[in-house]
Amino acid sequence: MAVVLLFALLWAIVARASGAGECSQPPKLENGMLEDRYRGKETFASGSRVSYLCNPGYIFSQNDRRSITCNEGVWKSLRATCKPKSCGSPGEIMNGYYQGDNTFGSKITFYCNEGYILVGRNYRLCEVDGWSGQVPTCDVVKCPDIPDIENGRISRPSTESWEYGMVAEVSCHGDYSLIGERKLICESDGNWNHPFPKCKDVKCPAPDIPNNVRMVSIYKPTYKYQEQISFRCEEGYEMEGDGRIVCGEDGKFSPPPPTCTPRKCNRPPELENGLLEDQYRGKERFASGSRVSYVCNPGYTFSQNDGRSITCNEGVWEPLRATCTAKSCGSPGEIMNGYYQGDVTFGSKITFYCNEGYTPVGRNDLFCEADGWGGQVPTCEVVKCPDIPDIENGRISRLSAESWEYGMVAEVSCHGDYSLIGERKLRCETDGSWNHPFPKCKDVKCSLPDFPDNVRMVSTYKHTYKYQDEVIFQCEEGYAMDGNSVIVCGEDSNFSSSPPSCTQSLHAHPPVPMQNGSEIVGHSWSGGGADMSNCRFSPVPTIVSWL
């Protein structure tokens, strides 16, 4: 038993060694296959070479490598391709053409030119052995023969039959009229382009001509088939019907002769700011003698003696002399303490304005409408100022009116020694405000500050001074002033500035008396004599009265 197992193992090792480097089945070739001798094999030894064939209908491309080799278990690359074979030209078709591809497996389709019909199968297939079937033919289309025409003749063709594109001409004998087309053409569908004509003896007697109609054509007692007569109307008339009639196959003219009626008018002229009365609107034509009337649009009226109607006279309307003018709304009403501006005619607007110190109440404009003024006249109310609050330590001159109105003046005064800070009189302005801020009454006392010995106080001395009291100073003889010669008591109980100082001046002169008991103080001058001619003052002098 052990001997048998050992033998089997050795055989397997030898068998495995002998199969090293083999290839499996070769790759497939699209539209091709292996040569017969290689088909069915599962493995190929290293170095084996196989060859390919193209399927029927296919051929190798030029320079293709049609064989590959097994190299230690791997096939070399397959570079061959099988492409469809060409069947070449399918054959020419007279009076026709074909469309399609000529390679294996393709189909071409045959077509005939206009006027020809295909005989045979209309396609061919590119097969392994070439084109299938036969090339069809294109035969010319033929039209049916034209039957003999009584009292006429047909131009016969030189061929045995009428073929596509041929033209047959028909003519009639003597005075017979051709009913139908003179030339017939054989069409591509095998039919004639018109019905077969006929020759007929047609005579149309001259028609009766209505009044006011004139014949333009030459008069004949009788007319042949399709002869025409033309007409026109006499002046002032217009035609109703056709102005040309034709002799028909039945020996009668068609249509009947026209009639001429007095010329009609087109739509009447438009009236500015007016329109036609209802019964005339929408009509496009008006008979001669027709009369139409107009009405004015709402808000407009006819002017005096206007002609409100016009008449159509043989196609022409009388001149329209009517005019529609805007109605007046009259006076809108007076407005107390105000006025208005603007036009009072329909469609216009007036605007109301109030006099100075008055303000409008209500809409400030009105429109003149068809029924009169739209809206109410506004009113002008007097402008009112806010009440003046009570003034502490003072009083206001109250009026008998309940409120302060535009133009009123309020006067303010203070009790006792209280000073009025602000304006004494307040006036109510047009915008409803007072012309000055509200004043106040205040106890103001300014104490006179000390001043140098060489400074003299010209004004009356007081222990205390009230609001806006002034104190006036001047310098002693020989001194010039430095500072303000006048100081004023302010709301804060302080003077506007400190008293001035006086410094000795080389050019100072005594004060010069002035007329009416006045003198120039607090200043120096130079040049001139006692009459001050050619004097130069510095700074501008202050004139004070002697006490």
Please report the pLDDT score of residue 306 as a whole number: 77
Digit-coded pLDDT (tens) for 209-225: 999 999 999 999 999 99
Pair 269, 286: CB distance under 8 Å: no
Alpha carbon distance 510, 546 (integer Å): 15
Alpha carbon distance 39, 49 (integer Å): 13
Q: How confident is the model at residue 65 (pLDDT cuts 50, 70, 90)?
A: confident
Rounded mean pLDDT of 497-509? 79
Please report the pLDDT score of residue 39 as a whole number: 87
Pairing of strands 394-396, 228-233: unpaired
Please report the pLDDT score of residue 20 as a whole number: 62
Digit-coded pLDDT (tens) for 238-248: 899 999 999 99
Alpha carbon distance 475, 495 (integer Å): 19
Digit-coded pLDDT (tens) for 391-416: 999 999 877 778 899 999 999 999 99
Digit-coded pLDDT (tens) for 372-395: 998 899 999 999 999 989 999 999
* For residue 308, pLDDT beyond 80: yes
Predicted model pTM: 0.42
Digit-coded pLDDT (tens) for 435-490: 999 999 999 999 988 888 889 999 988 889 999 999 999 999 889 999 999 999 99
Digit-coded pLDDT (tens) for 123-172: 999 999 999 999 999 999 999 999 999 999 998 887 889 999 999 999 99
Pairing of strands 259-262, 237-240: antiparallel
Return the higher-pLDDT residue of 276 and 547. 276
* For residue 506, pLDDT beyond 70: no
* For residue 12, pLDDT beyond 90: no
Which residues have CB under 8 Å from 294's CB, separation 6+? 271, 274, 275, 276, 277, 308, 309, 320, 322
H/E stretch holding 130: strand 130-131
Rounded mean pLDDT of 334-363? 92
Amino acid identity for residue 354 in this structure: C
Max CA separation in the chain (angstroms): 177
Q: How confident is the model at residue 334 (pLDDT cuts 50, 70, 90)?
A: confident
* For residue 546, pLDDT beyond 50: no
